[in-house]
Structure 1
Amino acid sequence: MSPGATMERVYHELKARIMRGDYAPGLRLDPVQLARTLSASATPVRDALHRLSGERLVDSWHQEGFRQPLMSEAELGDLYAWSASLLMLALAGQEDAPLVAEPRYGGTDPRDYPEEVAAALRAIAWRSPNRELRHAVANLVERSHVVRAAELQVDPHCRSDVAAIDEDLRFGRWSALRAKITRFHRRRALLAGRVVAAIRPRESPLG
């Protein structure tokens, strides 16, 4: 396998692990150790980690290596606010109109809450012709994926909230959709501290 192909494979495998939350928040991601589990040398693993750092899926510091992001309550609150702002921009100019329901946007597995959220957010983003906005939402979806399981643990109503967003999106009820997006993210922000506590191991440092 060519070096470029190896790096792509390592990148996608490592990205999937990080988004699933396979590594505890704050855990140092050592390229040499990861290389053993990824059947690759340390060089493509290090290259993949640099790429993931650029996407903000991994934290990195000069001469201090890489680690799984250790998100604070304030940082998660900012991420929720950014999500709401992007989605509102994506819906700018959309006006209510009687439409035939479009295909359901949510994930095919009703147990997969993270994919339900991801599918709905991507579908809203694709309403916008702005490619930068669509890319920003795609990155946000990936960065927030790891917290979705904790959201479901903390708030049993979050699945029905996403289903309601999905229904308004399918029927083109844009005013109602904007209101539900606002409520969804406000509730997420109110519960951000509990979500962070749910994903942070008790022995993890705070900084």
Structure 2
Amino acid sequence: MADEQESTVEWVYGELTTMAIAFQLRPSERINEVALAKKLGVSRTPLREALNRLVADGYLDFVPQQGFFRRALDPQEIFDLYEVRKSIEVSGIGLAIQRAKAPDLEAIRDFLDTSSADIPGRTIADLVELDEIFHNRMIALSGNHELVQLLEKISGRIRFVRWIDMENGRRSVTQSEHRAILQAAMDRDEDRAKSLLGEHIDRRLDQIVEAVKEGYARIYIASSVMGRPEKVDIPPVRPGTGERG
């Protein structure tokens, strides 16, 4: 019985994580637990456990006496997450270069050859997934499972920025940068690989602010089309932070 309960919690957690990443739960929106439990076909107990896990993951906020809310899109927070991502990946690629065998790196080169093909019908979500797979596979070569798990959690929280990048035509640039990073790794040039990867990940604060504005516009576009435009306040950024190149 306990195993069945845990399995249900895991399933609900997976479903809610997908909804949160895709902003099917809209920023600052209060979670209607009764409606959500009915939609997922589960009781309130596993739903609550899953919601609490999403609070710990940074997707939701919990306000006593009010309930759970989808966390707002905060440019400063996303900027901070990009800094964390950069630190994780730059550290990870250094370990990967020291530990990876040549066939492991060649397998990633084969993956890039396959994934870069212009296949009709690929969605933006498909392209973002391929982008994440490259980064995850590179860091996995570090042999450090904790780094991989941290990267996966960070990636989920900034995925919408990657969606916007892809929709704005960054795909070809991303592919060439991936190849350059991989080549540096294959050459065992740790300094160059770290430099290229850091530049590839970097986002300036003003770029993230624009991405958040575009993200809000897309999330709420349905309301505007229906004649119910909603005012959305974007949290201010902290002074004295921001410009990176």
For the aligned pair, the TM-score class normalised by the smaller chain equals: 0.7 to 0.9
Q: Is the 8 A contact 1:90 1:128 kept in 2?
A: yes
Length, aligned pairs only: 204
Answer with 138-147 or 44-53: which moved more.
138-147
Question: Distance in 1 between the 2:73 and 2:154 partners?
Answer: 14
CA distance in 2, matches of 1:163, 1:189: 23
Q: Structure 2: which amino acid aligns with 1:133?
A: L
- Which runs of structure 2 are paired with 1:6-155 in the superposition (5 Å)? 6-93=8-95, 94=97, 101-103=106-108, 104-105=110-111, 111=123, 112-153=126-167, 155=168
Residues 133-181 of structure 1, C-alpha deviations (whole Å, 9 max, x = no match):
222112112222233222334x422x22321243245442555443332
Shift of 1:132: 2.4
The alignment's TM-score, normalised by the length of structure 2, stands at 0.71
Q: Cα distance, 1:130 vs. partner?
A: 2.9
CA change 1:61–1:105 in 2 (3 A) is farther
Identify, as 1 or 2, the structure richer in helix: 2
Query: Are 2:175 and 1:163 equivalent residues in the alignment?
Result: yes
Structure 2 residues not aligned, in runs of 5+: 221-229, 236-245
- Name the aligned partner's letter for residue 194 of structure 1: E
TM-score (norm 1): 0.82
2:209 equivalent to 1:193: yes
Partner Cα separation in structure 1 for residue 214 and residue 29 of structure 2: 16
Q: Which deviates further from its counterpart, 63-72 or 46-55?
A: 63-72
How far has the Cα of 1:35 moved from its partner? 0.8
Identical columns (%)? 22
1:181 aligns with 2:229: no
8 Å contact kept, 1:29–1:66: yes
Question: d(CA) in 1 for partners of 2:65 and 2:14?
Answer: 24
For the aligned residue pairs, the C-alpha RMSD in angstroms reads: 2.9
Partners of 1:129 and 1:55 lie apart in 2 by 23
> What is the CA-CA distance between 1:189 and the residue it aligns to?
4.5
Distance apart, 1:89 and its partner CA: 0.7
Distance in 1 between residues matched to 2:232 and 2:47, nearest whole Å: 24
Q: CA deviation at 1:102?
A: 2.2
Shift of 1:105: 4.4
Provide, for residues 43-75 of structure 1, a one-character-per-residue CA deviation record: whole Å limited to 9, x for no partner: 211111111211223232333322222122211
Letter in 2 for 1:135: Q
Which blocks of at least 5 consecutive residues in structure 1 are unaligned?
A: none
Contact 2:12 2:47 (8 Å CA) reproduced? yes
1:29 and 1:65 in contact (8 A); partners too: yes
